[in-house]
Each structure stands twice: as C-alpha cells, then as structure tokens.
C-alpha cells in the first residue's frame, strides 16, 4: 500500500514569489491535513480538507491557501513568500471518520527555503 | 499559552532504563491523545493512541492519561539507542478535525 506522497521534496524560492505543494494521500483516505514545521514552533496546523471541503483552518495569514480534488489529492499554495515561510511542510492523510482524526499518516514533507 | 505543552528536552537516559515523557494540555474538550515519534530528518509516525483514563500498553510502550489533571505521558521500558528521537504529544477533540501537537521532547538513549 503506497504511503503519502509529497512533491516537490525540496525547493528554493525568493521573497515575493509563490509556491504550490502537492500531496497524494493513502488510497482510501479522504482527509488531508497540512502542517508547517519549524524548529522554534514545532508542528503548526494549517488546514484540513475532507471530500473537497475545508473543515478547519489554523492561524495563518491568507497567503496560505489550499484545496482538495475529487480524487482526494491536495495542494497548498503560499503567495508572496516571506523569509519566515522557510520550513518543512508536512501533509498527513487519514480516513477522515470522526473517531480517528488524530491517527495521521505523514508524507516525507516538502522542504521550502525562501531567500 | 500553547494548547499542548511538552518539555523540549533533551531527555537523556541510559540504555535499558525507563524513559518517561510528559505532556499537558489546556483544552478540556480534548478527548483523543496520541504520541508520535519523529527521527531526525524524517516525518512523524504514530506509535500510540489513548482515548480513556488509565494506562494502555503496547510492547515496551505505555501511554497514560489523566483527564482530571489534563496530563498524558509515555513510558518507554528497556530504552534502546534506536528509541532516540523526538516524541510529539498530540490531542484532538471530537468534532474538530484539527490535531494539535506539542513542540516535542527530544529523547537521547545513551549506550
């Protein structure tokens, strides 16, 4: 059974640019969550999607957005990049049922560096 | 105040000892709790989940939950160098599709 796939794995951007990250969840999983991980803040919740609907959103500015497609694949976009956006962006999938929203399966992450 | 609090460590224990990792949470609506392990340069992986007060054992791992004290812990018996990693405590509430993580405790098992 294939795991969660994130692309690209590494990318370097400059301030002001935008970036799109992609996540393919485990087959059969309908929930996709995105997290930002930095050494000082740990894992910070960005948003969660289920059946193409955003069900919850973290405390990030509107420059951070996402979407989910009918095949459960998800993308997140960060516009007008800032130096502080440099981080590891992790995608996690789960079945999405109410009882196991905490049982997450993570991808390997996309390491974003903003220069 | 973070919703899930952990000491970032590092916590150093000798090989074969019991490692005790602790976590407190502030949201009394939290009902499900999880421990994830993250090796350096890798992504987190779920190792334990606990939903009711008391202890839950799985091999060398025991998770403990005390909802009255809003306290969760993870005990690792017979610690091995391969257990050296960062352990993330996480919590979620029924009806909320957001999992909140602590900053993680770095565990070092000394051979």
SS (H, E, C) B42-82: CCCEEEEEECCCEEEEECCEEEEEECCCCEEEEEECCCCHH
Question: Which residues of chain A lie closer than 8 angstroms to B49, CB-CB?
Answer: 102-103
Whether the predicted pLDDT of B96 surpasses 80: no
Report the gap between the CA of A48 and the closest CA in chain B (Å): 7
pLDDT at position A70, please? Answer: 95
Between A115 and B28, name the one with better pLDDT: A115
C-beta atoms surrounding B46 within 10 Å: 18
Q: In the numeric block, which tokens belong to residue A85?
A: 């956006």
The partner residues of A56 in beta bridges, in order of sequence, read A48
Q: Poorest-confidence range of A21-30, A90-99, B37-46, B86-95?
A: A90-99
Q: What are the C-alpha distances in Å from B34 to residues A59, A62, A79, A101, A110?
A: 22, 29, 33, 11, 24
Question: Which residues of chain B lie closer than 8 angstroms to A45, CB-CB?
Answer: 98-101
pLDDT (mean) for B35-40: 97
The partner residues of B36 in beta bridges, in order of sequence, read B46, B88
Whether the predicted pLDDT of B2 surpasses 70: no
pLDDT at position A97, please? Answer: 63
pLDDT at position A107, please? Answer: 97
Distance CA B71, CA A50 (A): 30
pLDDT at position B94, please? Answer: 67
3-state class of A99 per DSSP?
helix
pLDDT (mean) for A76-104: 87
Do residues A33 and A47 touch, judged by C-beta distance below 8 A? yes
Whether the predicted pLDDT of B31 surpasses 70: yes
Distance CA B56, CA B50 (A): 7
**Position B11 confidence tier, pLDDT thresholds 50, 70, 90:** very high
Which of B43, B97, B101 is nearest residue A101 as measured by Cβ atoms? Answer: B97
B55 touches chain A (CB under 8 A): no
Distance CA B61, CA B110 (A): 18
Tens-place pLDDT, residues A24-57:
999 999 999 999 999 888 999 999 998 899 988 9
Average pLDDT value over all residues in chain A:
92
pLDDT (mean) for B43-66: 96
Say whether B96 and A109 touch across the interface (CB within 8 A).
no
Q: Closest residue of B to A101, CA-based?
A: B97
Inter-chain CB pairs, A–B, below 8 Å: 61
Which of A42, A56, A90 is nearest residue B96 as measured by Cβ atoms? Answer: A56
Average pLDDT value over all residues in chain B:
93
Q: Closest residue of B to A57, CA-based?
A: B98
B96 touches chain A (CB under 8 A): yes
B40 touches chain A (CB under 8 A): no
Question: Which residues of chain A lie closer than 8 angstroms to B99, CB-CB?
Answer: 33, 45, 101-102, 104
pLDDT (mean) for B75-92: 97
């Amino acid at each position: 059974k294939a795991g969660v796939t994130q692309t690209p794995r590494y990318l370097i951007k400059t301030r002001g640019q935008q970036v799109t990250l992609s996540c393919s969840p485990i087959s059969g999983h309908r929930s996709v969550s995105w997290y930002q991980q930095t050494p000082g803040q740990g894992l910070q919740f960005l948003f969660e999607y289920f059946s193409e609907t955003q069900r919850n959103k973290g405390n990030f500015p509107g420059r951070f957005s996402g979407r989910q497609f009918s095949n459960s694949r998800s993308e997140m976009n960060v516009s007008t990049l800032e130096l502080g956006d440099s981080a590891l962006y992790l995608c996690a999938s789960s079945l999405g049922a109410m009882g196991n929203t905490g049982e997450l399966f993570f991808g390997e992450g996309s390491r974003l560096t903003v220069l | 105040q973070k919703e899930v609090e952990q000491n970032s460590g590092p916590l150093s224990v000798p090989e074969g000892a019991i490692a005790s990792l602790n976590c407190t949470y502030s949201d009394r609506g939290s009902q499900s709790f999880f421990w994830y392990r993250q090796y350096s340069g890798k992504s987190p992986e779920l190792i334990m989940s606990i939903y009711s007060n008391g202890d839950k054992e799985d091999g060398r791992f025991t998770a403990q939950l005390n909802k009255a004290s809003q306290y969760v812990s993870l005990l690792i018996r017979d610690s091995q160098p391969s257990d050296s990693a960062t352990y993330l405590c996480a919590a979620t509430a029924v009806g909320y599709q957001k999992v909140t993580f602590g900053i993680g405790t770095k565990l070092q098992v000394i051979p």
